[in-house]
Amino acid sequence: MQLTQNIKGFSKLAVILLILISFLLGAILSYIWTMGYYAPNEFNLPNQTSVTIEGMPAFFAENATYFNITVLNPSYSPTEAKIELIKAITGDGKVHIIDSTSPPLPLTLAPGKSQIIQSFWNWGNYTGQTIDVYVLIADGSGPAVQVKTAFMNLTVSSVILEPAVTSSRFNVTVESMSSPVSVDISNIFVNGVEITGVTPTLPYSLSPNTAATFTLNRDWKNLQNQPVSVMVQTKQGYVAYGSTVGPQVKLNFSNIVFFNTTETSFYFNMIIQNAGTPPAKQDIDLITLNVGGQTILIGIGDVVPPLPQTIEPDTSLPFTCTWNWSSHQSENATITVYTVQGFTATSAETTIPSIPQPS
């Protein structure tokens, strides 16, 4: 009796196990059947090589001459990937081809392999901006990613030329406000020409949230009323620009008259007007004449009021210059005045009169 009960219990257990096995087999077969129908549309592996960009390209504030990009050839890729070109498109629509990388391009990646590519391109003019980076491969599709470059706020805050002080030098102030790192100012250019005489000397380390004023030992008389463009470069690859228009020193001559009161007393008078733009005082310290190709110096003690003499902006000042012009009668003469600031002004040609003969 006990044996019969055991057999019946075993039979029930076997039936239950058979049912469970049948259920599992049916589920597996159903899944395989279903996947066989949908897989060609939803899970079909690519038949063309396609690489991806892992994460975002890395732009480092410490150096604007390159960025890093990590490229992956996925393990499901059917073949090796040959990376041929990397390019960046900036917000101004310009296309920048990266023609120097480490390792160099073209570069072959096996399936499942990734590579960090150091891409040498100076993005210093596009700090804090969004750019598009593209990776182009041979015989396949290349990825693209949009990324924001590191922020740097390097600016030329002022370009100051002071005609009331000197024409031999001027000042440029550079700021680095809210910037994340220090930069080393290495070169300063004026209208495309590098200035070698700079104080303080270059290179100069400029810390974040600070400013520095540089004196450029460059004669700027030829920049009067002309555009003055300043470019500041750093060792880290950043560039800052500033510009102004050179002030114009303008000294006008009027009422040039030659006199003689006796046979031995000769002099000439003139009026000089300071009409510079913008207005700036000038200090006249020398007056000369050119007669027949000869330069004649008017002695300091022969000028009234005595030299040096300051002419304020938008004012005129009369001068009386003692000079025996009797040996230069009827000759043409030009008068030149020189200023302490280094400027010169020359009058129009005037004719020295003849001494009337007694009747």
Sorted by where each begins, the domain ranges of the chain are: 49-148, 154-245, 251-351
* pLDDT score of 280: 97
Residues in a beta bridge with 267: 259, 322
* pLDDT score of 356: 74
3-state secondary structure of 67: strand
User: Which residues of the chain fall below pLDDT 70?
Assistant: 1-18, 20, 22-47, 140-141, 358-359
- Interstrand relation of 211-216 and 193-194 (parallel, antiparallel or unpaired): unpaired
* pLDDT score of 35: 46
| Domain with residues 154-245, CATH architecture | Sandwich (2.60)
* pLDDT score of 8: 54
* pLDDT score of 358: 63
Instruction: State the Rg of the chain over Cα.
Output: 42
| CATH topology (fold) of 49-148 | Immunoglobulin-like (2.60.40)
Domains 154-245 and 251-351 are alike in CATH topology: yes
Residues in a beta bridge with 35: none
C-alpha 176/C-alpha 178 separation (Å) is 7
pTM (whole model) above 0.85: no
Burial class (CB in 10 A: 0-12, 13-18, 19+), 149: buried
User: Which class is 251-351 in CATH?
Assistant: mainly beta
Give the CA dihedral 78, 116, 106, 111, nearest 10 degrees.
-10
CB atoms within 10 A of CB 208: 14
Of 193, 249, 241, residue with least CA distance to 216: 193
